[in-house]
Amino acid sequence: MLSSNERRQYQRLSGSTIQCEVKRKSLFRFGGYKKIEVVDFNRFGARVLHSERFRIGEELLLNINRQSTNVREVVGFVCHVEELEDGYSYGVQFDFSANKHMRSAEVEESLSLIEEVLGTTGALASASKPQTGTQSPHSGTP
């Protein structure tokens, strides 16, 4: 059960064992994927750390890998930004209505499998209160 102060709708699990790459989603798809650190994760979204600045609402493409489960081109949007000393912390909500790929059973099953594996390791992420200066336009942030 989540605390009454918690913004997230779903429990997050530690994402320290997930390998992830990100790039901005654009019509021209310039630029390649860059590695990012996953702090916490569930099948609906993740909190990630990255040195580059993204805007609230910006669409991202993520490649997510946990052991033998790989999910490519997961569409997500930035729903929370926190500036840190050495970069940024982002809340990313996966967008299952973005395209046919995101509506596929394969994507849903793969993200659920990653969540299930993380859950069996007992890796609950520590819930933290939003810090002063954070931004979140979506009250339903996962």
pLDDT digits (tens, 9 = 90+) for 41-93: 999 999 999 999 999 999 999 999 998 999 999 999 999 999 999 999 999 99
Instruction: Give the pLDDT score at 66.
Output: 93
d(CA 122, CA 125): 9
Instruction: Give the pLDDT score at 38.
Output: 97
Instruction: Give the pLDDT score at 44.
Output: 97
Q: What residues contact residue 14 under an 8 Å CB cut-off, 6+ apart?
A: 39, 40, 41, 118, 123, 124, 125
Instruction: Find out whether 40 and 92 touch, Cβ atoms under 8 Å.
Output: no
Q: What is the mean pLDDT of residues 11-39?
A: 87
Which residue segments constitute the domains of the chain, with CATH numbers given? 13-120 (2.40.10.220)
90-139 pLDDT, tens digit each: 999 999 999 999 999 999 999 999 999 998 876 555 444 334 344 434 43
pLDDT over 70 (residue 20): yes
Give me 21's structure tokens.
């790459």
Q: What residues contact residue 22 under an 8 Å CB cut-off, 6+ apart?
A: 33, 34, 36, 48, 50, 60, 61, 62, 63
Q: What is the mean pLDDT of residues 19-39?
A: 87
Q: Between these two residues, 27 and 41, which has the higher pLDDT value? A: 41
Instruction: Give the pLDDT score at 141.
Output: 44
